[in-house]
Amino acid sequence: MEEHKATVATLASQVKQFSASKTLFRIYHGSTLSTRHSPRQRNQIIDVSSLNHVLRFDESKKTVLVEPNVPMDQLVDATLKRGFLPKVVMELPNITVGGGGVQIILGNGDIIWASAEEHRDLFFTAAGSCGSLGVITMLELDLIDAKSHVELEYIPVSNTDEAVKQLRKYQQQSDVAYMDGILYSPASGVIMIGRLTNQAPSGRIQRFDRASDPWFYMHAENILRSLAHTSQAFGKPTTHKEYVPVKTYLFRYDRGVFWSGLRAFKYFVTPFNALTRYLLDPFMYSRTMVHALHRSGIAAQTIIQDFAVPYASASEFVHWTDERTGIWPLWLCPVKSAPLHERSFSQGNNVKDDILLDVGIWDMGPKDSQAFIKLNRDFEQKVTELGGMKCLYAHAYYTEQEFWDIYDKDKYMELRKRYHAESLPSVYDKVKVDLQGVACGAVQKKELGWGEWTYKRFWDTWPLGGLYGVASATKGFLFKSDFLLKK
């Protein structure tokens, strides 16, 4: 803790200097899963990348203090050693933590603790505000008792309505720890229910973390096909159960990054089979793929969005998505809304339901930039129409007026003033993109010199951008090089 205190004191001093000189600054974490472009400059950042330690356990309270850059896999490893698991674990290992209480450096350099009991206005609004209200330096997380395996049950569904019905059913069962789903087509999908257990029958253990293991989404689809044959043979619906080591289960989507890895094979016109997946396995993890996506420039052409809609609107949204894009598979994950007085900033003013269904949509978009922007805006407008919300880790294509029609601008700006956060970019400044004339957005034309034009055309030529992304990711993996800061 002494090292942590010293680091935080140094960061607070730097924030005070920025505040005194009225210098705008950004927070630098060292890594990201966001596809947004990073405009950070080295002389205008608060570097919190060293805050990546698990600090202290309180086993009687079942809590742990951690620094903000602790990735999920490191957190799970540390808690499992103590016989615990984090109460909430995000689905990819390099996503960093969120907590039930936070230490935060305000924009004037003061250090405070915010929770549901202290500075509750800041605590709830800071969640989902993309680091625009202060510099978080420590979090307190709730823990649960760990077990060795997850009993994973696969339940076939034939449409979105049936998927919602199954999710409603199982969310009422106290022994269910985890649930999500995949829709492979309008008429084929699977809901997966996880229960923690220490009983794992030999011969029924399945892993997804080795090069020789199947990618999870493909494994689930194979089970779905097998269950269809079994149901047809016996004339009644059947399910399938298997047992997955708990850490393998928690990060089952890491290899292949759900199904985004398939796009990499298609981009490089590479055969997609068990042998090529085995040989290229080191490149197929989220840390490497996100790095490559940024460095290649392909992130600007990729739809990576999570939209949450009310259960009652889920079928309409999935049907609309199919008609508008034809994108499959789609990921399904229930999202519990907080009570109105505890809503985070990211939930906005639009959400009225207690449970939403997150629909993960990940694929390549139109190559034409204006068509790409229009498609993303259509998604945003449809979700707003249905009483849903989008996750702000991704690009946002709202105009400023549209954005503040959804989120509580008055409360947010008042908190920025009260907690001295005006030297940080606002959340809209962090998530907005150049609309390039779409939705009456300004057209930002930049005249390129001959050298710049040649350079851009060179890297826009297939497959040079992709090769550069892979080379950079390989270098980053071996030497921990940086893709967020300008050199």
Q: List, for residues 334-374, the tens digit of each pLDDT value.
A: 998 877 777 778 888 888 888 999 999 999 999 898 999 99
Beta bridge partners of 102: 114, 139
Query: Of 180-189, 293-302, 303-312, 408-417, which gets the smallest average pLDDT?
Result: 293-302
| pLDDT tens-digit readout, 293-331 | 878 878 788 999 999 999 999 999 999 999 999 999 999
Q: Is the pLDDT of residue 60 over 90?
A: yes
Contact by Cβ (8 Å): 243, 200: yes
Tell me the HSE value of 313 on the side-chain side, using a 13 A CA sphere: 23
Confidence of residue 480 (pLDDT cuts 50, 70, 90): low
Confidence of residue 470 (pLDDT cuts 50, 70, 90): confident
Q: Which DSSP helix (H) or strand (E) runs through 439?
A: none
Amino acid, res. 206: Q
**What pLDDT shows up at residue 202?**
83
Pairing of strands 302-310, 188-197: unpaired
Contact by Cβ (8 Å): 128, 345: yes
User: Does residue 195 sit in helix, strand or coil?
Assistant: strand
User: Does residue 386 sit in helix, strand or coil?
Assistant: coil
What is the average pLDDT across 141-166? 98
Distance of alpha carbon 213 from alpha carbon 244, whole angstroms? 12
Confidence of residue 453 (pLDDT cuts 50, 70, 90): low
Query: What does the block give as tokens for 33?
Result: 């899963």
What is the average pLDDT across 202-206? 89
Contact by Cβ (8 Å): 25, 44: yes
Of residues 389 and 32, more confidently modeled: 389
Confidence of residue 67 (pLDDT cuts 50, 70, 90): very high
User: Does residue 484 sit in helix, strand or coil?
Assistant: coil
Query: Of 41-50, 238-247, 453-462, which gets the smallest average pLDDT?
Result: 453-462
What is the average pLDDT across 96-122? 92
**Cα distances (angstroms) measured from residue 143 to each of 34, 58, 124:** 26, 10, 20
Mean pLDDT of the chain: 90
Q: Which domains does the chain have, with CATH numbers?
A: 2-145 (3.30.465.10), 149-255 (3.30.70)
DSSP readout, 29-89? -S-----S-----GGGEEE-TT---EEEEETTTTEEEE-TT-BHHHHHHHHHHTTEEES--
Could you list the beta-strand ranges (E) of 337-454.
355-364, 389-390
Question: What distance, in Å, lies between the first and last C-alpha atoms of the chain?
Answer: 32
Contact by Cβ (8 Å): 437, 370: yes
Q: What is the largest CA-CA distance in the chain?
A: 75
Contact by Cβ (8 Å): 143, 336: no
Residue with tokens 């309180």: 58
Query: Among candidates 440, 321, 337, which has minimal Cα distance to 387?
Result: 337
Confidence of residue 274 (pLDDT cuts 50, 70, 90): very high
Please state, for a pLDDT cut of 70, what percent of the chain lies above it. Answer: 90
Distance of alpha carbon 301 from alpha carbon 408, whole angstroms? 30
Q: Is the pLDDT of residue 458 over 70?
A: no
**What pLDDT shows up at residue 34?**
53
What is the average pLDDT across 6-21? 95
**Cα distances (angstroms) measured from residue 102 to each of 138, 151, 476:** 6, 33, 30
**What pLDDT shows up at residue 487?**
41
Query: Among candidates 279, 432, 339, which has minimal Cα distance to 124?
Result: 339
Contact by Cβ (8 Å): 432, 251: no
Distance of alpha carbon 88 from alpha carbon 100, whole angstroms? 11
Q: How many CB atoms neighbour CB 21 within 10 A?
A: 9
**What pLDDT shows up at residue 482?**
55
Beta bridge partners of 390: 307
DSSP readout, 313-357? HHHHHHHHHHHHH----EEEEEEEPPPGGG--GGGTTT---SEEE
User: Does residue 479 sit in helix, strand or coil?
Assistant: helix
**What pLDDT shows up at residue 468?**
75
**What pLDDT shows up at residue 477?**
58
Q: Is the pLDDT of residue 251 over 80?
A: yes
Beta bridge partners of 308: 358, 389
Confidence of residue 231 (pLDDT cuts 50, 70, 90): confident
**What pLDDT shows up at residue 281?**
97
Distance of alpha carbon 481 from alpha carbon 469, whole angstroms? 13
Contact by Cβ (8 Å): 12, 107: no
Distance of alpha carbon 348 from alpha carbon 344, whole angstroms? 8
Of residues 460 and 116, more confidently modeled: 116
User: Phi/psi at 389 (nearest 5 deg)?
Assistant: -150, 165
Q: Is the pLDDT of residue 77 over 90?
A: yes
Q: What's the DSSP call for residue 432?
A: B
**What pLDDT shows up at residue 343?**
75
